Amino acid sequence: MLTDVRPAPPALPRPGVLAGHHAFAVVLAFAAALRVITMLGYPPARLYWYDSFTYMDTAAHLSPPGDFHPIGYSLLLRLLWPFHSVELVAALQHTMGLTIGMMIYALLRRRSLPAWGACLAAAPALFDASFLQLEHAVLSDTLFIFLITAGLATLMWSPRLSARAATGAGLLFAFAALTRTIALPLLVLVLLVLALQRTGLRPLLALALAGMLPLAAYAAWYGQSHGRPALSGADGIALWARTMTFADCAVIRPPADLAGFCPNGTVVDAASEYVWAPGASLNLLPGDRFDHNEAARAFAIRAIAAQPFDYLRDVAADTSIAFSWTPIAHPRRTTPAFGFRHGTAGLPDQPLIDKVRREFDPDIRGMSSVRPYSDILIAYQYPAYLRGPMLAAILLVGAAGAALRRRTVLLPWSLSAALLVCPVAVLDFDHRYVLPVVPVACLAAALALHALAARPSLPMSGPA
């Protein structure tokens, strides 16, 4: 008896890692090429006023600084300290920039968005020339954006938030607050939104504990160094500077011990400039400006309580700068956009330069342009810029999705709005401070458009 033996059908190949993601692989390759061109075109890295040198000095000595900067970014620099290279810092930050785009894309694909939509939402963070410049600077902003995006992606990765994911997100937001203290109100906002969405008690407790315990530990360490627990030694000074654009001591009527913080006729072109203006009242007080942080905070709170509408008016006016078509220099000494140019950038008049050369990187020098790579970036930066009205449209789309009670939109949109307004509310507007808004706002807008497009049409009413 013959048996019919047929060959087994050939096994189908397993889908590769890039299956369904070929378009994004091309996008990511172009974004990576831009970052390589940036490193080749502007060695070694951008060093910013006193901030970059303070970060590196803190990394070398690893103690809580008593100025504007908490220790988070310096901890990252400490990990890279053995290599003594600011170019390596820039390379790592460019990698973070690519990862931010990847997180936005991956989260949107997990939320069932088509590949083209997810690519489009990730594009501003990957291709905007302002992000290339920021990643190339020894500044905390790229790390901050990375941590906020990672924390948000962790919270939103699964439809149901687990205690483990909430713990991870809490730690990410805590480290973001140790990088820039503006993340502290963001953590509170996240807890509030999740509570309104009835996420569950266990995830909320896990998020709160994971977020607050590292901050409490750092505040205690700060207290050992500076005599009082805090996250920053300049939050009061920053808020005082914010009030200098409207404060009227005839209305505020401060007590005698705070009267020295009243405006004295010094006028500058931006609220943040009052911190550094030699003639500002704060800088005429005896001792170092940071010695007066608590008293400055007390004056600022009195000023805001006495003139709440003046405060809100100035915050709204400065926030609106983000929506102008042509970038506005605020303050006028800054370059708000299009910062790629030919030549060599001299180092600032900064007493820490020689110290960080000895302790962090002996090759620290002014950033210089190298052709033809710099030519490419100089031409690229003008079309590759997210104009203010475009950002406004992205925020409005997210707001529409949140207003229509699209559950997935509320959290990223509320974070993007807070990231836009909070820095202005506690100090001033800066174009650098707008960049963290972009990836989160794009995420919210993409989710809103997807949710609105997927809404089932209502049945027509009428006789059967």
Question: What is the rounded average pLDDT of the residues 20-28?
Answer: 92
* pLDDT attached to residue 7: 58
| CA 53 vs CA 157, 161, 353: distances in Å | 37, 40, 7
Question: What is the rounded average pLDDT of the residues 371-379?
Answer: 96
Q: How many residues does the chain have?
A: 464
Nearest to 93 by CA among 49, 150, 140, 43: 140
* pLDDT attached to residue 453: 82
Does residue 372 have a cis bond before it (omega within 30 degrees)?
yes
Q: What is the DSSP letter of 137?
A: B
**CA of residue 210 relative to chain centroid, distance:** 20
Question: What is the rounded average pLDDT of the residues 288-316?
Answer: 95
Question: What is the rounded average pLDDT of the residues 147-171?
Answer: 96
Question: What is the rounded average pLDDT of the residues 334-361?
Answer: 87
Report field, pTM of the whole predicted structure over 0.75: yes
Q: In this structure, how many other beta carbons lie within 10 angstroms of the beta carbon of residue 61?
A: 12
The residues, ordered by sequence, that sit 6+ positions from 166 with a Cβ below 8 Å of its Cβ are: 155, 202, 203, 204, 206, 207, 210
The answer to whether residues 268 and 241 touch, using CB atoms and an 8 Å cutoff, is no
Query: What percentage of the chain exceeds 70 in pLDDT?
Result: 94
The answer to whether residues 146 and 99 touch, using CB atoms and an 8 Å cutoff, is yes
* pLDDT attached to residue 337: 84
Phi, psi dihedrals of residue 46, rounded to the nearest 5°: -85, 130
Question: What is the rounded average pLDDT of the residues 143-161?
Answer: 96
* pLDDT attached to residue 464: 32
The answer to whether residues 315 and 241 touch, using CB atoms and an 8 Å cutoff, is no
Nearest to 203 by CA among 164, 152, 234, 239: 164
Question: What is the rounded average pLDDT of the residues 50-67?
Answer: 90
Tokens of 173: 């937001």
Q: What is the DSSP letter of 327?
A: P
